Every structure is written in structure tokens, then in C-alpha cells.
Structure 1
Amino acid sequence: MDKQRTAKQRTAIAALALLTLAACGTEHSGNGPSSSVAPDIPLAGTDWRVDSVTVDGRTVPVPHGADVSFDQGRVSGSSGCNHFSAPATVKGDTLTVGDSTSTLIGCPKNIQAYEKALLKTFSGKLTAKLQDGRLTLKAPGGDSVVLRSQRAASLTGTDWKVTSLVEDGTASSLPPGAAGKARMTFGKDGSVHGNLGCNRFSSMAKVTDGTITFGRLTTTRMACRGPAMTVERHLLKLLHGPVRYEIQQHALKLRAPDASGIDATG
């Protein structure tokens, strides 16, 4: 009887051992390809300059101020003229961008071409590769966007180029022929200088808690006409007294109490 019991115990132990081995055999070692899971590309809270956009084998020129940022499940950006925003999720090395919304400012033709190419490419599922501070996003058809890591611009020391004029809270593009001329730079010593679109100017600016208070402007005395004068009059009215300011990546917004203002890129 004892021999039979011992034999049954040995058989049960052997069966248990086989079951244990079989269970172990179904697990992956951790070194095999089936167990490796690519970590999510770390995009949340990052800011980027657009280096290039390639569509149908053609690289589209990127305008000054074109940038992209990722935050809280969304991607947003600027072409240096219009702004866009879209939902975005990351899983492993795949970035999925949903339907985007965009402002509708009339922009120069070169910026319009860039915006069309970017929004066409920056959509749907994109394969992401991050290396040496550069993020390459590729669409299934081969189109691509290359981004370069950046920090948000500082108010001081940045050459801010005026890209749009704002009246009653509505932004419009600069008049034809006036793009790229109006600009300003704030110094750490409280000074501000630049170009109004035709004449150069200088002043002092006190910065406190989201507000810039401009002092009296000193300007050159060149005679200006046409688009340059339109921009100059707008800036002369704005750069007087206190205005609210906001910086988003490389975009600066100045707004007066009457909702007039400018948008600029740095």
C-alpha cells in the first residue's frame, strides 16, 4: 500500500513539474522580439522649429517663425501667419494627429503654399523618429516633416518681426509690400528699438506682470507712403502707454485696451 501511495505521489509531482515547465514555456524571455515594447516618443511639453516639409518628393520652403508645440494631448503651431491646433496622441513611435482647426488670415503666396503642405502632411498616423534633437515625422505615403527642438523665445534680445495687424480683436495680414519690414527688439536695460515699417524708432519699455508700458517714442523723419505708412500709423498708435503681451513659443502678441494690436514672430 505504501509503495502504491509513493508511486502516486511521484506521478503527481512529475505532472506538476510538466505543467510548470509548460507554463514557463509560454512566457517570453524579455530579450525576445515579441516582448519588446517601444516606449512612447516623449513629446508632451516640447517645442519645435519646423526645419523642412516634403510633399510628393518636393521640399517646400519654410517661412520664418514656423513652429510646432505638443501639450496635453494636442499639437499646435504657427506658420508665421496663421495658427493651427489639432488633437494628438502618441503610442510607441506613432503620432496620430486628428482634424485640425486654423485661423484664416490671408497670407503671402509662399506662406500659403507652406501651410497647405504642412497641414496635408501633418495629419493621421505618422511614424516618429527622435534623434539628436530632431524629430522626423513620416506619413505612410512618404511625405515628411522634420522638426528641431527649441526653447520658447524670450521677450528681451529677440528680433520680433511684425506679421499681422489686429483691429477690434481681429487679425489681418500686412498690406502687400510691407511684410518683413516692421520689427522691434527689447533690451535687458529697458530699452526698445526697431522699425515701424518705414522709420526707425527707439523708446523705453517697462515690463511688469504681462504688461509693457511704452515711453515716448523717438523716430526718424523719412516720408512714408502706401503700405509702409499703414503699418507705421498702426504701430505709432499701439506703442503708446500700457499694452498686454503674451509669448507662445516664438510668437509675440501685443494688445491695447481697445483690442487693437499686432502679432509678431521671433
Structure 2
Amino acid sequence: MPLPVAWRRGAANFLPYQMDCAMKLSVFTVVAGLFLLFGGCSGGFRLPDTAPEEERPQKPEANVTWYGEIPCADCRVQKMTFTLFDDSTFRIRQRYEGVSGGGERVTYDTGRWERKKGKLLLMGSARFPLQFRYVSPSKLMMLDQMGNEIVSKLDYSLERRPATDFLAGPMELTGMFSSANGVTRFRECRTGKSYPLVFERPDPSVREQYARLRSSPGSSVLAVLRGRFLMDAGSGGEQVLVQEFGGFLPGRDCSDNSGDARPLENTFWRLLSLKGYDGDLRAAGRQPYLLLKSSDRSVRGFSGCNTLAGAYQLQSTSLSFGRLATSRMACPGGAMALESAFVRALEKTASWRVRGRILELYDSRSKPLMNFEAVSG
């Protein structure tokens, strides 16, 4: 039976349309095949070998300051401020408010920083680096010492500050002291950066000690000091204003102040320098030392003349010694003076810090009292 006229007209209109689509599809298939063929040969369609964040170099921070009020185990709050400089160094201030016994405690540190896979690491004097996760360009979240999330309802976040805080100090610094042609310089151990030194109160005895201890003119001697960072108008960089010179540590260098920090307890600590004492540390034939035993919180040691024993209290960075008993052996005058200064400094001790193999003791105003070297442990 013949098809209706309308159907024959529809079929006639449909056939050209069908042929047109088939031709377009064929052309597309040929072009796509050639594109894949030559693209594949040129390597243009290979999947990336690395994750995007590892493939792209991290944009360096340029003098960026971060601030947060971090929960604290032995204080009301820890106000943490740190600044990342564009040369991969940092400074940090940790202000502990409402510490045991009242008041506050402020510590500073320096070091180097780096970014890895969305994390920020601050490598300073502590045994483990401080670690943070980038939440956004303006927010960080503090991680635990192993780089894991802190499981807590408390707030461990830090916010980016709109203005740079250069955290000038004052702070305790350890580095290599040198002087040549009337110019005194200080290469700070943690960052490796070198600064001109300016003394708040000129002290000729520092240069005299340096001249006796240096191995050759212009050579460096390890030293500890308390100072502030100031802008040097002449160079446009920074200089260190020395407010208190702690002393020289001859025969040592920055390697003694780096690496894994020795534990405070169960380590044999030998005295290196004692603030305000310029005599011989071996007046009785050997240097004073301390050993803090964690098993019973007892301390024993040698004071420069007699043996000593007593107890100590330790909480985080706070350290104090109870009544210390010494034997009653008579010693030469120099040894007696050393013992008196040593015991007096122990009685003033309020906090501590270990930098590598060096133990630093401070008074209640965070001023340095003594430095020790780890001999064992």
C-alpha cells in the first residue's frame, strides 16, 4: 500500500538531515582521532607525576606576622606571636599569662621556617618544630609536635596580622662574636644571620676578654648576650643592641647550640659561665656541675668548693631549687667565692631553656644567670 503523501514528504526531509549529521559525526571523529594521535605522541596529555601543591613552588612569605591565644596547661593563656621573614627566618614571642604563682612569663626564640604540603614548620631551639596547618591565607591551625591535628574543643587557631611586628625583644641570643678593624659582629646560631653589634653601655672588658680568647685576629668566639634588634640607618638592615653581655664560651661553636636538645633531667651539666663572676671556674681543680634526677626530683652536684644536694621544682619552663645543702670543706679563697656566686645564682633561678647541648638558667625577670654544657645524657 503506498505511503500517505505527508509521510513521503517527511521522509524526504529527514533523509538529508540524517546524512548531514552522519557527515558531521565522521568529520568530528577524524579530527578527534588526529588530535589524540599527535597529542599523545607529543606527550601533551600525560597525567601529572606529582600533586599540584608539590608541583608549584610555594610563594615565599614576606614579613608576615601571625597571632593567636593558645590554650596553656600551666597558665591561663599563651599569647603567641611570630613573624616569618622573606629569608626563611622567624622570630617568636610567647607570653604566658596567669602562670602558677601569679604574673606572666615571656620567652623569645629565633630560627628558620619552611612550608611543606600545606603545613608551616618553625624550627627553633625546641626539640620538636612548632607545626601549623594552613586553613586559609589568613588563618593557621596549630598541630601537635608530630604534625597531627589536636583533638580538642579548645581554639588553637592563629590569625594573620595586618601589620608586621618585627619582635625586637629584648631576648637572649647565642652566636659567634668577632671583631676586626673596629667593627664588632655577631652571627646568631639559630638563623645563621650576621649583625653589627652596638653596646647600650660600652664595656671595654668584653673586647679584652675576646682578645685573650680568640685563636687569631678577627676569629670568632661563641658568646651569649641579651639584646634588641634595631634598624641600622646606615645599611638599611638590622643591628643588635647589647643590653647585657652574658659571656664567652671558648672552644665551642654553633654546633654545640644546635641539633636535638638534651633533656634537662638526668643529664650531667657542667658550668660554662656564671653572670657576675670573672674568676677561674676551676679554682678547686674542677668546674661546678649539676645533675637533676627525675626519679625523685633531687639535685646533686659540685659548687666549686663543696658537694651540694637538695630538691627542685619543675613545671614546663619554670624551674626553682629548694634549700641546698653543701658539705663544709675549707677551700682556697677563689673557690669559696665561686661557690658563693654559684649557690646564689641557683637560689635565683626561675626558668630554663636548653639549646642543643647548652642549658641556660634565668631569674624571675628572664635575665640570664648561668650557662651549662651537657657532658652526658
TM (normalized to structure 2)?
0.38
Alpha-carbon separation, structure 1, partners of 2:34 and 2:173: 59
Judging changes above 3 Å, is the alpha-carbon distance between structure 1 residues 216 and 166 closer, same or farther for their aligned structure 2 residues? same
What SS does the corresponding residue of 1:202 show, helix, strand or coil?
strand
Q: Which residue of 1 aligns with 2:321?
A: 213
Q: Which residue of 2 aligns with 1:135?
A: none
What is the identity percentage for the equivalent residue pairs of Structure 1 and Structure 2? 15
Alpha-carbon separation, structure 1, partners of 2:173 and 2:129: 9
Paired residue for 1:26, among 44, 48, 72?
44
Q: Which residue of 2 aligns with 1:261?
A: 369
Alpha-carbon separation, structure 2, partners of 1:239 and 1:83: 29
- The code of the aligned residue for 2:188 comes to F
Segments of 5+ residues of structure 1 without an aligned counterpart are 49-66, 88-96, 117-144
| Native 8 Å contact 2:360 2:372 kept in 1 | yes
State yes or no: 1:238 paired with 2:256: no
Alpha-carbon separation, structure 2, partners of 1:70 and 1:77: 19
Q: Could you list the per-position Cα deviations for residues 12-54 of structure 1 after superposition, in whole angstroms to 9, with x for gaps in the alignment?
A: 222133334555531445569xxx9699699946689xxxxxx
Structure 1 position 234, deviation (Å): 1.3
Alpha-carbon separation, structure 1, partners of 2:273 and 2:372: 7
Give the number of equivalent residue pairs.
Answer: 195
Q: Which residue of 1 aligns with 2:354?
A: 248
Paired residue for 1:194, among 291, 296, 301?
301
State yes or no: 1:84 paired with 2:188: yes
| Native 8 Å contact 1:193 1:200 kept in 2 | no
TM (normalized to structure 1)?
0.51
Paired residue for 2:266, among 153, 157, 166?
157
Structure 1 position 152, deviation (Å): 3.2
Segments of 5+ residues of structure 2 without an aligned counterpart are 1-15, 58-114, 133-171, 178-185, 200-205, 224-253
Q: Could you list the per-position Cα deviations for residues 120-178 of structure 1 after superposition, in whole angstroms to 9, with x for gaps in the alignment?
A: xxxxxxxxxxxxxxxxxxxxxxxxx999x9643332211112222225xxxx8x64664
Judging changes above 3 Å, is the alpha-carbon distance between structure 1 residues 44 and 161 closer, same or farther for their aligned structure 2 residues? farther
State yes or no: 1:11 paired with 2:119: no
> Which stretch shows the higher mean deviation, 228-237 or 78-87?
78-87
Structure-to-structure mapping, 1:28-47, within 5 angstroms: 28=46, 44=121
- The code of the aligned residue for 1:153 comes to R
Structure 1 position 84, deviation (Å): 2.6
